Chain A
Amino acid sequence: MTAYILRRLVQLPLTVFGVTILIFLMLQVLSPSERAALYIRDIPKNPAQIDRVIKRYGLDKPIHIQYINWLIGTVDQDTGDRVGGVLRADLGYSRTGREPVIDLLLRRLPATAELAIWSFIPILGIGIWLGIIAAINHNKLIDQIARVFSIVGYSFPTFVFGLLVLMLFYAKTGWFPPGRLSDWAVQVVSDPGFIQYTSLNSFDALLNGRIDVFLDALRHMFLPIITLSYLSWALLLRVTRSSMLETLGQDYIRTARSKGVAEKNVVNQHARPNALIPVATIGGLTVVGLLNGVVITETVFNYPGLGSAVAAAAVSLDVLTVLGFVLFNATLLILANLIVDVMYAFLDPRVRLG
Chain B
Amino acid sequence: MTKNLRRSVLLAVLLILAMVLAACPAQPGQVVEVEVTRIVEGESQTVVVTATPEPVMPVSFNAPRTDTYTDISIGDIDTMDPNLAYDTASGGLIMNVMETLIWFDHTDATSFVPVLATEVPSVENGGISADGLTYTFNIREGVTFHNGNDLTPSDVAYSFQRGLLQSDPNGPQWLLLEPILGYTSGDVTEGIAEGEYAGDPEALKANATAEELVAVCEKVQAAVSADDDAGTVTFNLAVPWGPFLATLTQTWGAAMDEQWAVENGAWDGSCDTWSDYYAPGAENDELSGIINGTGPYMLESWTPGEGYVLVANPNYWRADDDPMWEGGPAGAPAIQRIVRRIVTEWGTRFAILQAGDAEWVNVPPANRPQVDEFVGETCDWRTNECTPTDNPDGPLRKWGDQPSTSRTDVFLNFNVSTDENGNNPYIGSGQLDGNGIPADFFSDIHARLAFNYCFDYDTYIADALNGDGVRNNGPIILDMLGYNPDGEMYMFDLDKCAEEMALAWDGAVAENGFRLQAAYNTGNDTRQTIGAILQANFRSIDPKYQIELVGLPWPTMLAAFRVGQLPVVASGWVEDIHDPHNWVQPFTVGTYAGRQNLPDDLKAQFQELVNAGVAASDPAEREAIYFELQKLHHESAIQITGAQATGVRYEQRWVQGYYYNPALFDNYFYSFGLAQ
Is A–B contact present in the complex under a CB 8 A cutoff? yes
Q: Is A155 an interface residue (CB 8 A)?
A: no
Complex contacts, B198 vs chain A, CB 8 Å = 48, 51-52, 55
Whether the Cβ atoms of A218 and B200 lie closer than 8 Å is: no
- Given A77-B202, A302-B344, 6 other A-B contacts at CB below 8 A? A39-B281, A46-B185, A129-B5, A171-B354, A175-B19, A302-B348
Whether the Cβ atoms of A78 and B279 lie closer than 8 Å is: no
Q: How many residues from A make CB contacts under 8 Å with B?
A: 68
Say how far A57's CB is from chain B's closest CB, in angstroms.
Answer: 7
Whether the Cβ atoms of B199 and A52 lie closer than 8 Å is: yes
Whether the Cβ atoms of B556 and A34 lie closer than 8 Å is: yes
Q: Is A300 an interface residue (CB 8 A)?
A: yes
Say how far A321's CB is from chain B's closest CB, in angstroms.
Answer: 11
A39 to B200, CA, bound (A): 15
Whether the Cβ atoms of B558 and A50 lie closer than 8 Å is: yes
Q: Interface with A: B20-28, B257-265, B379-387, B635-643, which one? A: B20-28
Which B residues have a C-beta under 8 Å from some C-beta of A? Answer: 1, 5, 8, 12, 15-16, 18-20, 22-23, 27-28, 68, 70, 76-79, 87, 168-170, 174, 185-187, 195, 197-203, 205-206, 276, 279, 281-283, 289, 301, 303-306, 339, 343-345, 347-348, 351-352, 354-355, 357, 554-556, 558-559, 561-562, 571-572, 576, 586, 590-592, 594-595
Whether the Cβ atoms of A35 and B23 lie closer than 8 Å is: no
Q: Is A190 an interface residue (CB 8 A)?
A: yes
Whether the Cβ atoms of B276 and A78 lie closer than 8 Å is: yes
Whether the Cβ atoms of B199 and A56 lie closer than 8 Å is: yes
With A43-B591, A190-B301 as known contacts, state yes or no: A53 contacts B170, CB within 8 Å: yes
Whether the Cβ atoms of A33 and B23 lie closer than 8 Å is: no
Whether the Cβ atoms of A30 and B555 lie closer than 8 Å is: yes
Whether the Cβ atoms of A47 and B595 lie closer than 8 Å is: yes
Partner of B576, one of A45, A53, A78, A171: A45
Complex contacts, B186 vs chain A, CB 8 Å = 46, 48-49, 52
A182 to B16, CA, bound (A): 17
Whether the Cβ atoms of B339 and A183 lie closer than 8 Å is: yes
Whether the Cβ atoms of B561 and A55 lie closer than 8 Å is: no
Whether the Cβ atoms of B19 and A45 lie closer than 8 Å is: no
Within 8 A of B (CB), among A150-181: 163, 166-167, 170-171, 174-179
Return the chain B residue nearest A217 by Cβ.
Answer: B19
Say how far A54's CB is from chain B's closest CB, in angstroms.
Answer: 8
Whether the Cβ atoms of A176 and B554 lie closer than 8 Å is: no
Q: Is A317 an interface residue (CB 8 A)?
A: yes
Can you sample 26 A-B contacts with CB below 8 Å? A39-B281, A46-B185, A47-B590, A47-B594, A51-B198, A52-B198, A53-B199, A55-B203, A56-B279, A77-B205, A98-B76, A122-B12, A125-B8, A170-B351, A174-B23, A175-B23, A178-B348, A179-B343, A183-B68, A183-B357, A184-B27, A216-B22, A218-B19, A302-B344, A302-B348, A304-B305
With A49-B186, A52-B198, A52-B199 as known contacts, state yes or no: A37 contacts B78, CB within 8 Å: no
A292 to B8, CA, bound (A): 28
A99 to B357, CA, bound (A): 28
Say how far B88's CB is from chain A's closest CB, in angstroms.
Answer: 11
Complex contacts, A317 vs chain B, CB 8 Å = 555
Whether the Cβ atoms of B16 and A215 lie closer than 8 Å is: no
A177 to B301, CA, bound (A): 23
Most buried by B among A46, A175, A219: A46
Complex contacts, B555 vs chain A, CB 8 Å = 30, 33-37, 317
Complex contacts, A77 vs chain B, CB 8 Å = 202, 205-206
Say how far B597's CB is from chain A's closest CB, in angstroms.
Answer: 12
Q: Is A81 an interface residue (CB 8 A)?
A: no
Within 8 A of B (CB), among A203-220: 212, 215-216, 218-219
Complex contacts, A53 vs chain B, CB 8 Å = 169-170, 199
With A48-B186, A98-B305 as known contacts, state yes or no: A40 contacts B279, CB within 8 Å: no
Partner of A183, one of B70, B197, B351: B70
Whether the Cβ atoms of B169 and A56 lie closer than 8 Å is: yes
Whether the Cβ atoms of B23 and A34 lie closer than 8 Å is: no
Say how far B522's CB is from chain A's closest CB, in angstroms.
Answer: 11
Complex contacts, B343 vs chain A, CB 8 Å = 178-179, 302
Q: Is A123 an interface residue (CB 8 A)?
A: no
With A45-B576, A47-B594 as known contacts, state yes or no: A57 contacts B19, CB within 8 Å: no
Complex contacts, B8 vs chain A, CB 8 Å = 125
Return the chain B residue nearest A218 by Cβ.
Answer: B19
With A43-B591, A129-B5 as known contacts, state yes or no: A184 contacts B28, CB within 8 Å: yes
Complex contacts, B206 vs chain A, CB 8 Å = 77
